[in-house]
Amino acid sequence: MKKTTIVLFSGDYDKAMAAYIIANGAAAYDHEVTIFHTFWGLNALRKEENVLTKKGFLEKMFGSLMPRSVKKMGLSKMNFAGMGPKMIKHVMKKHNALPPEQLIQMAQEQGVKLVACTMTMDLLGLQKEELLEGIEYGGVAAYLADAENGNVNLFI
């Protein structure tokens, strides 16, 4: 079986979109697909609503400064203080392109393995209750075990 793995490191709306489009494409072509969400990419797996948790000061600060869910992310280019994402969302709607939050759901339905990097969760103080249901948890060892047999391994 062909294998595709993606490290989603970036916390940008457009890069997350690219990651999920490639993942869904690969799953449609019967690849076994893993997306390993690390650093800012982990924010794509956050629930939209604010989940109350006990946290230290810095962890609270990170939590509130970082976007909750992919919907709230900015663009890697032409962000224009938030105007860019609005423009992109507008043209996406016009062209019937799926927004990333729906691409994530489609990925889960297609059996794409969504992994949250536990080291990043520790560092940024993100807790399981704040993340989407149905995802897995792992570290760099889990990623490498998937990637070393992968045909397509990308870092986004």
Sheet of 32-37: strand order equals 136-138, 113-117, 32-37, 3-8, 152-155
Which of 49, 54, 64, 141 binds a copy of itself (CB under 8 A)? It is 141
Segments of 9-156 assigned E as strands: 32-37, 113-117, 136-138, 152-155
Compute the least distance from the CB of residue 118 to a copy of itself, in Å. 11
Which of 60, 87, 110, 137 binds a copy of itself (CB under 8 A)? It is 87
Residues 127 and 146: their CA atoms lie apart, in Å, by 24
Residues from 96 through 125 that contact a copy of itself (CB under 8 A) = 97, 119, 122-125
Residues from 20 through 59 that contact a copy of itself (CB under 8 A) = 21-22, 25-26, 29, 31, 38-40, 58-59
Residues 39 and 9: their CA atoms lie apart, in Å, by 5
> Which residue, 47 or 119, has its beta carbon nearer to a copy of itself?
119
Which of the stretches 47-55, 85-93, 106-114, 126-134 binds a copy of itself when contact is defined by CB under 8 A?
85-93
For residue 61, state whether it binds a copy of itself (rule: CB under 8 A).
yes
The helix (run of H) or strand (run of E) holding residue 4 is strand 3-8
For 16, 25, 86, 89, the CA distances from 100, given in Å and listed in that order, are 7, 14, 14, 10
For residue 137, state whether it binds a copy of itself (rule: CB under 8 A).
no
CB proximity list for 106: less than 8 A, separation 6 or greater: 20, 24, 98
- Binding residues for a copy of itself, rule: CB under 8 A, are 2, 4, 7, 9-11, 14-15, 18, 21-22, 25-26, 29, 31, 38-40, 58-59, 61-62, 65-66, 76-78, 87-88, 90-92, 95, 97, 119, 122-125, 140-141, 143-144, 147-156
